[in-house]
Amino acid sequence: MPDEMVCTATLYNYIEAQLLEVRNIDLLEKTGQRVKHKANHKFKRMLTGRSIDERPKRVDNRKEFGNFELDTVVGKRNGQESVLMTLIERKTRFQFVRLIDSRDADSVNHAMHAIVKDHGDVIKTITADNGSEFADLSRVLDGVADVYYAHPYRSSERGTNEAHNRVLRRDFPKGTSLDAVSPQEVAEAAHRINNLPRLILKYQTPTERFNAESVRVRCRTAKAAAAG
């Protein structure tokens, strides 16, 4: 029988590899330790697409209707459950909120297709967060709207989005599992936010302003088509 003893680290490695009939949960000290992960900076870069630096300056002053900001709101930060996708129009502050399956491009694209189907004619630009879930936006919105990406870690470049996401957090606090939330609950929360009169809108609601602007755009488009 060998007299040598393996070190503690080796024993832990054997347990992780399931070579021993012992689990991590059986080890009181082990379960209390934080696992250190090496930081992965591979994806911390600007996504393929146009930077917000290239966005027309007219978008900045909020006088033009049809310019949107896009983001996702996470419940539990494990990336393995449902999230909220928020799309807000900068001038009217009207916000679309959709419960999507995951924080990935496929889920975002599916939700965006539905919004574009009903409102694509009023969308001019979308400025998105730099998350990988928005990587395919340019393809989804090809021929519909121009897509721009904010700089990494610059939430202030989507200030309207960030401010309204904080309001949304009143209904869905951080740490809440969004898998337990229904689309109806999300729709009700969005309805309350969009129908709150705003001083900045001269006490009109975002819904009122968004509908009025949409009608104006569609009437103008119809007149142009008739004249042509």
The residue ranges of every structural domain in the chain are 50-214
Task: Give the C-alpha separation, 22 to 26, whole Å.
Answer: 7
Q: Which helix (H) or strand (E) holds 190?
A: helix 183-194
What integer pLDDT is reported at residue 40 of this predicted model?
Answer: 40
What integer pLDDT is reported at residue 107 of this predicted model?
Answer: 95
- Taking the CA atoms of residue 101, residue 156, residue 164 and residue 181 in that order, the dihedral angle to the nearest 10 degrees is 20
What integer pLDDT is reported at residue 7 of this predicted model?
Answer: 63
Secondary structure of residue 149 in the 3-state scheme: strand
CA gyration radius for the chain? 23
For residues 94 and 88, the answer to whether their CB atoms sit within 8 Å is: yes
Nearest to 84 by CA among 71, 70, 99: 99
Secondary structure of residue 202 in the 3-state scheme: coil
Residues of the chain with pLDDT under 70: 1-48, 78-79
Task: Give the C-alpha separation, 62 to 74, whole Å.
Answer: 27
What integer pLDDT is reported at residue 120 of this predicted model?
Answer: 96
Task: Give the C-alpha separation, 71 to 22, whole Å.
Answer: 43
Task: Give the C-alpha separation, 181 to 189, whole Å.
Answer: 11
Q: Topology of 50-214 in CATH?
A: Nucleotidyltransferase; domain 5 (3.30.420)
pLDDT digits (tens, 9 = 90+) for 39-94: 343 444 445 579 999 999 999 999 999 999 999 999 887 657 899 999 999 999 99
What integer pLDDT is reported at residue 8 of this predicted model?
Answer: 62
How many CA atoms within 13 Å lie on the side-chain side of 113? 10
- Taking the CA atoms of residue 96, residue 97, residue 102 and residue 106 in that order, the dihedral angle to the nearest 10 degrees is -10
What integer pLDDT is reported at residue 152 of this predicted model?
Answer: 85
What integer pLDDT is reported at residue 32 of this predicted model?
Answer: 46
